[in-house]
Amino acid sequence: MGRDFVYVILGGGVAAGYAALEFVRRGVGRGELCIISEESVPPYERPALSKGYLLPEAPARLPTFYTCVGANDEQLPPIWYKEHGIDLVLGTRVKSANVQLKQLTTTTGETITYKILIIATGARALKLENFGISESDAENVCYLWNLTDANRLVGLMQEYRGGNAVVIGGGYIGMECAAALATNRMKVAMVFPDAYCMSRLFTPKIADFYESYYKSKGVIFFKRNALASFDNDLKGKVKAVILKDGTHLPADLVVVGIGIRPNTNLFEDQLQLEKGGIKVNGQMQSSDPSVYAVGDVAAFPVKQFGNEIRRLEHVDAARKTAKHAVAAIMARDAGDLDYLPFIYSRVFTLSWQFYGDNVGRVVHYGDFSSGNFGAYWIDKGVVVGAFLEGGNKGDNEAIAKVVRLKATVNDIAELQRAGLEFALCK
Ligand code: FDA
């Protein structure tokens, strides 16, 4: 049993949706493109799962967040794929790939061959088992990566409303989940090993603002600490989380967000890897000319950082690398991707954006007590990164622009005084 396509996208997440739209805009023929996805629904905007999807009032539900609404573009419901002659093979896992034969084999035994493959397999959530802790399959322990996880979390939040929730991990998934749990009137404790939240990006001063805000919403922090084990009832349900320092935290619900690992496994001995991802060039083409990689699974040269190879786990990178790969495949004159790294988050009524790289000297500005603040990162006399809380569209475009331009900074004190004005005047 086998089928043959010109183009196959392996994976049906954010990058797949944006790639599909670009294929159609560039005139892909009917029956030429196939998308294979383990998920049972077409590509959707994954970040919605930890934001609108978890709201207690008027939560976001499909079809409202099918790609590509996250970039204010066309929404692609299931019928769209049909109308454009795209084979959407859902609920199907690819279990092996043979790059030489240009062939994928699914768990149902079907073989699908391609002329060009785009790998868009994204990443998976790390499990507690990866850190030697068992029982993360207990009925009240949740991860959050796909719609099934999100539905489970919603069900548990409804069941235990007013109860105790423990969030393990202080990255953006942990922070967004903690905010959602508090909004759902749960008593929330956050546990993470670092000295402050979002330590890969935030400075202590920025983290302090968000932690204070969370505390004002009732969230309690257990920092420089870690989960040691669970205390379970006779049915195997977790009833308390035991921390490394011996603290017992009562738990009706545990949410784990401790990082992700890119899904490279089908290709590890067939394609070149770097930074844990599939290494591609500026056209998103891998070490095999018929294979491209995009999104979380791709490690690509970032021009803005002198073509240093980076793997970015952000939705904007997934959208743009996907579109660029299709441009490179279909037009063959796309040039190399010139990408400005960007990440954002929204929690409670707060919302921040960050562009560029967080290296060099940090200059904070604004009023941290009222939530009107930002920061620039300066390296070798130029702006390499910029963070802003609560900016409007124009403000965010301005901070993106100073990073893109690598604006020169002559006087740090003046930059601190000017704050956002520095970016708005450029
Ligand atoms: P993505 O994970 O979206 O899709 C991968 C797809 O491949 C999935 O459909 C998967 O099932 C499929 N797949 C994998 N292996 C397969 C196989 N062998 N066979 C078949 N199918 C297979 N980013 C950001 O910048 N700001 C934010 O606020 C957030 N918020 C956020 C919240 C939550 C809850 C999550 C989980 C993630 C975010 N992100 C984010 C990250 C962002 O969503 C992420 O960077 C993109 O989804 C990456 O898109 P990809 O298409 O690369 O992978």
The ipTM value here is: 0.99
> Which residue's CA lies nearest to atom 32 of ligand 1?
47
Long-range contacts of 356-363 (CB under 8 A, 24+ apart): 356/304, 356/383, 356/384, 356/385, 356/386, 356/403, 357/304, 357/305, 357/384, 357/385, 358/201, 358/385, 358/387, 359/384, 359/385, 360/384, 360/385, 361/412, 362/203, 363/409, 363/412, 363/415, 363/416
Distance (Å) from CA 86 to ligand 1 centroid: 21
209-259 per-position pLDDT tens digit: 999 999 999 999 999 999 999 999 988 899 999 999 999 999 999 999 999
**Ligand 1 atom having least distance to the Cα of 313:** 45
Q: Indicate whether residue 48 lines ligand 1 (CB < 6 A).
A: no
Best CA proximity match to 399, nearest among 381, 410, 415, 380:
415
Distance, in Å, from the CA atom of 210 to the CA atom of 175, rounded to the nearest integer, reads: 9
Distance (Å) from CA 319 to ligand 1 centroid: 11
Distance (Å) from CA 211 to ligand 1 centroid: 27
Cis peptide before 78 (omega within 30 of 0): no
Distance (Å) from CA 65 to ligand 1 centroid: 14
Q: Map residue 48 onto helix, strand or coil.
A: helix
Contact 380, 360 (CB under 8 A): yes
Q: Indicate whether residue 179 lines ligand 1 (CB < 6 A).
A: no
Distance (Å) from CA 416 to ligand 1 centroid: 37
Confidence (pLDDT) at 132: 86
Which ranges in 133-237 belong to alpha helices (H)?
147-159, 172-183, 204-216
pTM across the whole model = 0.97
> Which residue's CA lies nearest to atom 33 of ligand 1?
47
Confidence (pLDDT) at 1: 66
Phi-psi region at 162: left, alpha or beta (left = phi > 0; alpha = psi -120 to 50): left
Distance, in Å, from the CA atom of 410 to the CA atom of 414, rounded to the nearest integer, reads: 8
Handedness of CA 265, 270, 276, 278 (dihedral sign): negative
Distance (Å) from CA 190 to ligand 1 centroid: 24
**Ligand 1 atom having least distance to the Cα of 316:** 25
Confidence (pLDDT) at 135: 76
Distance (Å) from CA 250 to ligand 1 centroid: 31
Handedness of CA 20, 21, 27, 30 (dihedral sign): positive
Distance, in Å, from the CA atom of 137 to the CA atom of 111, rounded to the nearest integer, reads: 32
Q: Indicate whether residue 264 lines ligand 1 (CB < 6 A).
A: no
> Which residue's CA lies nearest to atom 22 of ligand 1?
11
Q: Map residue 206 onto helix, strand or coil.
A: helix
Confidence (pLDDT) at 426: 82
Distance, in Å, from the CA atom of 209 to the CA atom of 296, rounded to the nearest integer, reads: 29
Give the CB-side neighbour count of residue 237, counting CA atoms within 13 A: 9
Contact 165, 186 (CB under 8 A): yes
Q: Indicate whether residue 125 lines ligand 1 (CB < 6 A).
A: no
> Which residue's CA lies nearest to atom 28 of ligand 1?
345
Positions of the chain with pLDDT under 50: none
Return the best residue to mutate from 45, 54, 296, 321 for the ligand 1 pocket (most ligand atoms within 8 A of CB): 296
Distance (Å) from CA 147 to ligand 1 centroid: 11
Q: Indicate whether residue 17 lines ligand 1 (CB < 6 A).
A: no
Distance, in Å, from the CA atom of 363 to the CA atom of 345, rounded to the nearest integer, reads: 21
**Ligand 1 atom having least distance to the Cα of 296:** 52
**Ligand 1 atom having least distance to the Cα of 322:** 51
Structural domains in the chain, CATH included, are 2-124+261-331 (3.50.50.60), 128-258 (3.50.50.60), 349-424 (3.30.390.30)
Distance, in Å, from the CA atom of 86 to the CA atom of 24, rounded to the nearest integer, reads: 9
Q: Indicate whether residue 37 lines ligand 1 (CB < 6 A).
A: yes
324-362 per-position pLDDT tens digit: 999 999 987 789 999 999 999 999 999 999 999 999 999
Return the best residue to mutate from 14, 46, 323 for the ligand 1 pocket (most ligand atoms within 8 A of CB): 46
**Ligand 1 atom having least distance to the Cα of 43:** 9
Confidence (pLDDT) at 136: 79
**Ligand 1 atom having least distance to the Cα of 36:** 20
> Which residue's CA lies nearest to atom 53 of ligand 1?
122
Residue 35 phi, psi (nearest 5): -120, 125
Residue 289 phi, psi (nearest 5): -60, -20
